């Protein structure tokens, strides 16, 4: 037994040294906040409308793969598409009001999950964390509709009021180091296309504006229109309110800061 112990000790002493290289110290997201800015949010399914906006989000990671999120922003460009304008100019037809309602701003609250995580290196550099992100939420947003297309004079629009909206998103999240992230999301925002009022004016108020020009409407919330033509076009929208649900699918590209 003594001989075996000496032989084992000699073998251990002659074993080569093994060096362990720590590649990364893992940084947990639990309990941290992420502020993200999406300076370019571009509509992808713009057959009759075109939207380009800027949005921001604050995400609270309550668990490693589960978070609460608040998203808000606006579409600083929202107008009917060139295709729809071409239909009006060449064939005197246009998309139904339910298909060409414009989305101006929105605020949402919801959740975000990260079901798939991976990591890789770029050119032997630091590790980059890659995640597939899914999210959903509810909120409210503003809408408007084009009344008169642009001709020799600028186009005119009517405010169709705020409404309930829902959203679902799927995308990718790249974590670069401890604090910085890159985000790429495809987000669907759904909202009702029903038009009951334009500039706060219901159908009876619009009829009063047209039949009794110059007389203030009885409804206090009716803000009126600059011209009688705009009022007539608004009444045509309210007469056929529709019941469709629009889906505004956009590509949201941005960056975030984790703290």
Tokens at 34, concatenated: 């992420």
Query: In this structure, is residue 234 part of a structural domain?
Result: yes
pLDDT of residue 244: 85
One domain, residues 123 and 204: no
| Structure confidence at residue 39 (pLDDT) | 97
* Token pair 């409407």 in the structure block, residue: 217
Residue 23 lies in a domain: no
User: Domain limits at 204?
Assistant: 200-240
| Residue 33 included in any domain | yes
d(CA 165, CA 252): 18
**pLDDT beyond 60 at 85:** yes
- Which one is predicted more confidently, 95 or 60? 60
Residue 9 lies in a domain: no
Token representation of residue 209: 């504006």
Residue 163 lies in a domain: yes
One-character DSSP codes across 225-251: -SSHHHHHHHHHHHHS----EEEEEEE
Q: Which residues contact 221 (CB under 8 A, 6 or more apart)?
A: 200, 201
Q: Which long-range contacts (CB under 8 A, 24 or more apart) does 224-230 make?
A: 224/199, 225/158, 225/199, 226/156, 227/156, 229/148, 230/147, 230/148, 230/156, 230/158
Contact indicator for 4, 11 with CB cutoff of 8 Å? no
Q: What total of structural domains would you count in the chain?
A: 2
> In the structure, what pLDDT confidence band is assigned to residue 200 with cuts at 50, 70 and 90?
very high
State whether 205 and 158 are in the same domain.
no
Least confident of 2-6, 60-64, 192-196: 2-6
Q: State the pLDDT at residue 21.
A: 47
Q: What is the pLDDT of residues 6-44, one digit of tens each?
A: 454 544 445 555 554 445 555 688 999 999 999 999 999
Specify whether 229 is located in the same domain as 253.
Answer: no
Q: Which residue has the tokens 């998103």?
A: 169
As beta bridge partners, residue 43 has 250
Buried b (16+ CB within 10 A) or exposed e, 62-98: eeeeebebebebbbeebbbbeebbebeeeeeebbebb
Cβ neighbours of residue 202 closer than 8 Å, sequence gap 6 or more: 196, 219, 222, 238
Q: Within a domain: residue 83?
A: yes
**Contact in structure between 182 and 174 (CB atoms under 8 Å):** yes
Query: Which tens digits make up the pLDDT trace of 216-244?
Result: 777 788 998 989 999 999 999 998 877 78
Can you list the positions of beta strands (E) in 102-209? Answer: 102-121, 127-148, 156-176, 180-192
pLDDT computed for residue 5 by the predictor: 54
215 and 175 share a domain?
no
Tokens describing residue 246: 């629009």
Q: Tell whether 150 and 226 lie within a shared domain.
A: no
DSSP string, 163-179: EEEEEEEEEEEEEETTT
- CB proximity list for 19: less than 8 A, separation 6 or greater: none
Q: Is the pLDDT of residue 174 over 70?
A: yes
Please check whether residues 144 and 206 belong to one and the same domain. no
**Domain assignment of residue 139, yes or no:** yes
Q: Do both 149 and 234 map to the same domain?
A: no
Structure-token pair, residue 4: 């075996």
Closest CA to 132 of 147, 151, 149, 112: 112
Residue 138 lies in a domain: yes
Contact call for residues 114 and 89 (beta carbons, < 8 A):
no
Rounded Cα distance, 36 and 175, in Å: 12
Among 110-119, 183-192, 213-222, 242-251, the least confident range: 213-222
């Amino acid at each position: 037994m003594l001989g075996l112990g000496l032989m084992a000790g000699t073998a251990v002493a002659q074993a080569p040294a093994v060096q362990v290289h720590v590649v990364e110290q893992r940084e947990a997201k639990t309990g941290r906040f992420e502020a993200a800015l999406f300076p370019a949010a571009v509509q992808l399914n713009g057959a009759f409308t075109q939207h380009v906006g800027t949005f921001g989000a604050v995400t609270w990671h309550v668990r490693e793969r589960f978070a609460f999120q608040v998203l808000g922003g606006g579409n600083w460009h929202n107008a009917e598409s060139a295709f729809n304008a071409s239909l009006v100019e060449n064939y005197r037809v246009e998309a139904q009001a339910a298909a060409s309602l414009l989305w101006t701003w929105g605020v949402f609250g919801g959740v975000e999950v990260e079901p798939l995580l991976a990591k890789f290196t770029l050119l032997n550099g630091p590790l980059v964390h890659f995640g597939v992100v899914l999210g959903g939420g509810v909120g409210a947003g503003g809408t408007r509709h084009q009344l008169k297309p642009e001709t020799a004079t600028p186009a005119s629009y009517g405010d169709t009021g705020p409404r309930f909206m829902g959203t679902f998103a799927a995308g990718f999240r790249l974590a670069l180091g401890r604090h910085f992230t890159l985000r790429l999301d495809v987000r669907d925002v759904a909202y009702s296309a029903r038009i009951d009022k334009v500039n706060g004016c219901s159908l009876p108020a619009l009829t009063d504006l047209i039949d009794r020009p110059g007389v203030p409407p009885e409804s206090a919330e009716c803000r009126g229109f600059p011209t009688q033509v705009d009022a007539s076009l608004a009444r045509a929208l309210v007469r056929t309110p529709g019941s469709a649900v629009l889906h505004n699918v956009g590509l949201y590209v941005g960056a975030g800061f984790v703290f």
